[in-house]
Structure 1
C-alpha cells in the first residue's frame, strides 16, 4: 500500500495484525497468527451464503505471453484510495487521501472487489479508479485484519471485467508469474512486473511475529501493489500481493496471500461482512520438531499451553501433548494443524489424535471461535 501521508503505518500494522494466534491466541515461541488455510478451489458457492457465485474458476492451461495477460487481466485491476479526516494547510479539517493500494474485480455483475485490509483500514471514504478512467465511490463490505483481506463493492457495474481465479495449491517453485498493480498510486496504474515463484508455504517473521503459508516471488511488489493480483501464465489469479509482507528489507522478495486460501474468508465477508475463524485455543512450539528429529520421536504439533475452558481443554488436551492428526490427516507441525483446522467451521467436531507419555490417544473437540482483533 502506498501511504503518502502515513509512511510508518505499514510496519506498525504488520506488528499489530499478526500479534494474535489462531490456534490459541497465545504464543508459539513468539506468536502464531492466522495461518492461511489450504483448500481446493471451487466455484464460490455456499449453502449459507446469500450469493451464488463471486468469481470464476477455470482449468484453462493455455500459456499466454505477458502482453496478452496484461491485456486480459489489466482491466480488472483497480486503484484503491483511502480517505481519512485530516488538517489541510489552511488549518481546516477535511477528508484527505492518506494512502492508496490496489484491488481486483472478482464479480463484474455485483461489483465486488478484493483487496488487502491494510489498504482500507481506518478509511472514512474509499474510492476506486477503473481502467476506463472512471473513479467511483466504494462501499466496504467487510474486512478481516487477521487475514489482511477486505471486500469492496461499487454500485456502477457498467462494462466491468472480472479476473479468473486459479488454484494456488498447485503452484510450483520456478513457475513464472506476473504482478499487476498501482505502485506509487494511480500515476503508475496497472504496472506489470514479472518473475518466478521463489518458494511456497513460506514462513515470514515480522518484528518477532510469524506468518505462514505465503507465496514468495521475485516479481517486484512495491507500495501501492498491495491488494493487486499475482497471476500465472494462464492469466489466472493465484495470489493477492501484500507489501505488508514485502517490506522485510530484502531485495527481490515479494509475498502474496494464496488465492485458494483467501477464498473462504472472502466468501464469509461477502455473505455477512465478517469472518469467523475456528480455534482450538492452544499454543504450540515448533522447536519440539527439532528435538523429535534428533531423538527419533513422532513429528506433530507440540502443545505448549492450553486456554482454560477452551475447546482443547474441554477435550482433555494438556500441555506437553503432541497432536499428530486431525481427523484422518497427519499433522507434522503447527502450520499443518492450523491449515487443517481451517478446513472446518466454528462449531464443527473434529477428531484429534495425539501422543501423551509415549501413548497414542484420541479425543473429539468442538471448534470454538477466535476472538476478533
Structure 2
C-alpha cells in the first residue's frame, strides 16, 4: 500500500476511534488492496473483504479469486479464502500455481469464518471495527455480526469515501489520463459529424477511439437536436440535421479510475439562442473553477456558478448541483451543491459542470475535470471549451 492511502485510512481510524476498516465494495476493496476482482463485479453480493489496520492488511476472497491475487501480485500481510473451486496442477505448476495451491489447501468454511481468522491474525478481534456496508446484503451483515459477536461493528462505507476524497499523485495521473482519452474520443466524433450521422453512429466512434487508446468506455451519452434535453439516456437512431445541437456527456476508465466530461457542438452556424445559452453556462463553469482553492466551501462554488450563469444570459437557470468529485466511483464526495459545506483540499479532483436542458428545444453542457492544488486549481482537460461548430 502506498503512503498516501495508508495516511488517509489511518486518519479515518484516528478520527472514528477504530482499530480496523473492512472494505466490501469493488472500489473500496481496490483502494485497500489493489485487487480488481472479476467475480466481485459479476456476482452481486459476493463476499470479499479487504482489511486495513495499523499493524497490516488482509484479504478474504472466494477460492476462485486466488488466481487474480497471484497473477496480479497483490501484496497483503494475511490472506484467507473460502468456498470451492477445482484446479489441477502439473508437476511444475509455476510460481502462480504454487501460490494458489498453498493458499487453497484449507479453505475456510464460510466468508465470516475467514474474516474472523484474519481479524484475529491482525490483533483486532473483539475491538472496534468499521465494516463497509456498501457491498453487503442485510442478511450477510447479520451473519457477520453474529460470527463476530465480541467485536463492535460500525457502518463504514461513507468513511471509505471520505478517505478516498483526497487523491494521491498516482490517482490524479490516472484521472487525468482518463479525461484526456475521453477528449480524444469526442474529437474523433467531431471529425465525422455530418448530416445523417445518428447518435448510435457517434457513440460507436467515441467508444472505438477510447478502446484504441487503451481505456474502457464507461458511459456514453450523445444526444442530438431536441433529444439534447434528455439527460443520461442511451443513444438512439436520431440523425443529425443542419442547425442541430449535439450534447456530449461521457467518460471512460483508465484502470479503475474514471472520467466524466461534457462538450456541445452545433451543425452549422449556431442560432442566437444556442450561442447565448452556451455562453452563459460556459461563463458559469469558468467562474466556479476560478473560485476553487483550498479552504473554499463547495457551496460557495455552487452559488458562483448559478449566479454567473444567470447574469450571462440565462436568468432562469436552475440546477441541483454543478459538479462532483470523481475517482474510483463516478461520484466521489463532495458534491458541489447549495448545502454541502465541505472545504476544498489540495488533491481533490472534481468534474465541474453547468448543464442546461429545455424540453422541446434541446440542451447545452460543458464539464471539465480539475485538480485542487495548494494554491488554486489545475484543469486536467485540455480541449477547447467553446461551442464547437461543425
Do the two structures share a fold, i.e. TM-score over 0.5? no
Computing the radius of gyration from Cα coordinates, the structure with the larger value is: 2
What is the TM-score when the length of structure 2 is the normalising length?
0.22
What is the TM-score when the length of structure 1 is the normalising length?
0.23
Query: Which has the larger share of helix?
Result: 2
Query: Which has the larger share of strand?
Result: 1
Q: Which has the higher contact order (CA 8 A, sep 6+)?
A: 1
